[in-house]
Structure 1
Amino acid sequence: MSFSASSPVSFVRAAVDGEIARFLDRRRAQLLEVGSELVPVADALEAMLAGGKRLRPAFCYWGWRGAGGADVAGIHAAAASLEFLQACALIHDDVIDNSDTRRGLPATHKRLESLHAASGWTGSAEAFGRGAAILIGDLCLAWSEDLYQASGLGPEALQTGRVPFDAMRTEVMAGQYLDMLEQVREDGGVEATLRVMHYKAAKYTVQRPLHLGAALAGRYDDLAPVYTDYGLPLGVAFQLRDDILGVFGDPEQTGKPAGDDLREGKRTLIVAETLERTGSADRAEFLRHLGDPLLSAETVEWMRGAAEDCGALAACERRIDDYVAQATAALETGRIDATARSALADLVVAATARKH
């Protein structure tokens, strides 16, 4: 079987979306038993869970299929639990970065801030929005665990799967802390940025979901090394593409204003490469503007030009090509089911050749 670049995700998306919708219906009823005041919370959760690429469930599912697992409802539910973990990470990430938008819509904390303002409540609307978003993110983390445990897979499979499932949750939080640290230390370079990407993106987005699929199918020891050799370089390449889009992406495709990562001061690899490659005068000017929330379109264009002219953009594109080659080579092993191998090969394209 062969797949188009997006169809390994599309193949999984409908089933995962169904599991998410059914779970949210049940939990909305539970929230509203507490009180009607929680309607905006349920609405915010549903809005966040409605979007997304569904890459982590796709890698979990194809990791399962690569280990010989059948197409059963339980794996779709277990894979869907990763979307609640992702929602938690994104909601909290937007609070940490003070991002106004997510996927072209108001970020969760901005949504709840607007509710406060429109309702005429006392106190700070901004503080209310941030506090409510933190709680909603916490709820997503708890519900990720609930959906995983209620997936319908056997208790032995779920217990085996806990090794990568638990590791993934710890690693993404640790990676987020390292990311915050890099924003304030300002003395890290390319290697420090790659370390953040290793934990916050590569392991969390690709490697651990694949490990989870293999573990649930009873082949963790056998396939974990292969999935690591494939997943880590692909995960870094995925994040690199995300970082490039954060600077050079089309707002109509990304759902964020042009150069938003520059306004937020994110210490991405393209920024680290720019700071290492550009001359001292341009470096000082770049640093002066980095993290300015009021960056003009003209300054964004200058910063883009600096990254391109010094070779930082080209260096990041070369890294993506190298990582893609490593991930592709890892699939040559015969230990992965042939259908899943084809899907995983196409997922390399879906994760790295995207516009949003």
Structure 2
Amino acid sequence: MTVTVAPIDPALLRDRFDAALAAFLRNRPGRSDDGMRVVHPVLHRFVLADGKRLRPLFCYWGWRGFGGPDGGPIVVAAAALELFHAFTLIHDDIIDGSDRRRGQPSMHRIFADLHARSAWRGDPDAYGRDAALLCGDLCAAWSAEMFHGCGLEPARIRRGLAVFARMRAEVIAGEYLDVVAAAGDGSLASALTVVRMKTARYTVTRPVQIGAALAGADPDTVAALADFGDPLGDAFQLRDDLLGVFGDPAVTGKSNLDDLREGKPTVLLALTREAAVPTQAARLRTLVGDPRLDQGGAAEVRAIIEATGARERVERMIRAGVDQARAALDRISVAEAARSALADLTTRAAHRHR
């Protein structure tokens, strides 16, 4: 059955998600006597900082696509995914040692700088990591609380939580596999597995499935949405890998050196190593993973990536993922306004500049 819904401006939706997040966070102020006076304002700024809100958007349109009405409860439920996203970003920055996020210092840097300015005892960097780790945990807890309290009927929430729980487990497993890959062979197969588990599923597939499950879509339809979400989520992460090396920090809000300094086991670098001639491979071994890598060294790595054809291969993989996602979306019976919105999100997720 085809359901008709009216289109909604995505910018207005993002404003509504942010308003729901701000309202939720306002009800969790740090009291002067609980030791959390510093934590809450920092977290509030981090969560409400400029972001794409892709996960709430995919969740919302998954809901609308299967007959769910517009209203406050779905906006709150979808916005809760942004708190889960904050959890993943904070922990990922700790693991990767990234000092910038969304154009601002990452969470562990904020707390390390606070420690240093306050002249407290101990190691500022260790304090920063510990404090940020706990802030990430708090965001995960808040995400579950916000989702539970969204105002939808308990039976709907239970259906959504089944997908939510799977998403949480997949993200943690994907992060672990990323750590393993960094210590292992950096193969293309392991990089592709990390892409799917760590990012693709929780960026597109699970959010749109959560929305559909909340709306009451049948299990087969919810499962079929993976044919749309998985290839698009892969394309999203592959674009992220390209931006991590070739992106403009003034636009992306994060360094284009971090991935190379860390030696992050991305698909981009796996393809580069596969195609590199011996002299190029030797330079990659010297440069990639060097924590002191400067822009001159990074430019050399970028030139090798280009020369091996790895950058263009990733672009082709992104285009193929988008094509697969669009074809899958065409096969699924969803409300036309939701189909249009999801098609627009497909383009924006895969061909963004930040």
**TM bucket, shorter chain:** over 0.9
- The aligned counterpart of 1:338 is 336
Query: What is the distance in 2 between the residues matched to 1:252 and 1:192?
Result: 31
Q: Which of 317, 320, 340 matches 1:319?
A: 317
Letter in 1 for 2:78: A
- Cα offsets for 1:32-81 (capped at 9, x unmatched): 1643x422201220121012211000000000011111101111111111
Taking every aligned residue pair, what percent have the same amino acid on both sides?
A: 45
- Normalised TM-score (structure 1): 0.95
Q: Which residue of 1 aligns with 2:18?
A: 17
Q: Return the offset for 1:284.
A: 2.2
Question: Can you list the C-alpha shifts for 1:290-325, whole angstroms capped at 9, x where unaligned?
Answer: 122211111100000000000000000000011110
Structure 2 gap ranges (5+): none
TM-score of the pair, normalised by structure 2: 0.95
Q: 1:334 and 1:260, CA in 2 relative to 1: closer, same or farther beyond 3 A? A: closer
Match of 2:127 in 1: 128
Matches of 2:41 and 2:23, distance apart in 1: 15
What are structure 1's unaligned runs of at least 5 residues? none
Which secondary structure state, in structure 2, belongs to the residue aligned with residue 67 of structure 1? coil
Contact 1:9 1:54 in 2 (8 A): no
**Can you list the C-alpha shifts for 1:107-159, whole angstroms capped at 9, x where unaligned?**
10110011111111111111111110011111001101100011001101001
Q: State how far apart, in whole Å, the 2-side matches of 1:132 and 1:86 are.
A: 18
Tell me whether 276-285 or 310-319 shows the greater mean CA deviation: 276-285
1: CA distance, partners of 2:218 / 2:287: 47
What is the distance in 1 between the residues matched to 2:165 and 2:26?
26
Which residue of the other structure, out of 266, 273, 276, is the alignment partner of 1:275?
A: 273
Note if 1:294 corresponds to 2:292.
yes
Partner AA of 1:73 in structure 2: G
Q: What is the rounded CA distance, in whole Å, between the counterparts of 2:266 and 2:45 in structure 1? A: 27
Deviations for 1:70-112, whole angstroms, at most 9, x for unmatched residues? 1011111111111111111111111111111111111101100
Give, as a single letter, the amino acid of the residue that structure 2 aligns with 1:349: T
Count of residues in Structure 1 that have an aligned counterpart in Structure 2? 349
Equivalent residues of 1:64, 1:213 under 8 A apart: yes
Partner of 1:163: 162
AA aligned to 2:20 is E
1:229 aligned partner: 227
Correspondence list, 1:97-136, <5 A: 97-136=96-135
